Amino acid sequence: MANWIPLWVHKLGSPPLFYRFAGAARPWLLALAVLAAAGGLYGGLVLAPSDYQQGDAYRIIFIHVPSAWMSLFIYGVMAVASFVALVWRVKLAEVVAMESAPVGAAFTFITLVTGSLWGKPMWGTWWTWDARLTSELVLLFLYLGVIGLYHAFEDRRQGARAAAFLALIGIVNVPIVHFSVNWWNTLHQGSTVRILGPSKMAPSMLWPLLTMMAATKLYYLASLCSRVRADLLALEGGKDWVRKIAEAEGSR
Rounded distance between C-alpha atoms, residue 210 and residue 207, angstroms: 5
Q: Which residues are 55's β-sheet partners?
A: 51
What per-residue confidence (pLDDT) applies to 2?
47
What per-residue confidence (pLDDT) applies to 252?
66
CB neighbour list of residue 99: distance below 8 Å, 6 or more residues apart:
224, 227, 228, 231
Q: Where are the domains of the chain?
A: 59-191+198-238
Q: Could you tell me if residue 131 is left (phi over 0), alpha (psi between -120 and 50 degrees) or otherwise beta?
A: alpha
What per-residue confidence (pLDDT) applies to 102?
98
Helix (H, G, I), strand (E, B) or coil at 51: strand
HSE (CB half, 13 Å, CA atoms) of 149?
18
Q: Per residue in 26-38, pLDDT tens?
A: 999 999 999 999 9
What per-residue confidence (pLDDT) applies to 249?
76
HSE (CB half, 13 Å, CA atoms) of 207?
10
Please report the DSSP string for 53-88 in residue order: TTBGGGGGHHHHHHHHHHHHHHHHHHHHHHHHHHHH
What per-residue confidence (pLDDT) applies to 57?
81
Low-confidence ranges of the chain (pLDDT < 50): 1-2
CB neighbour list of residue 238: distance below 8 Å, 6 or more residues apart:
none
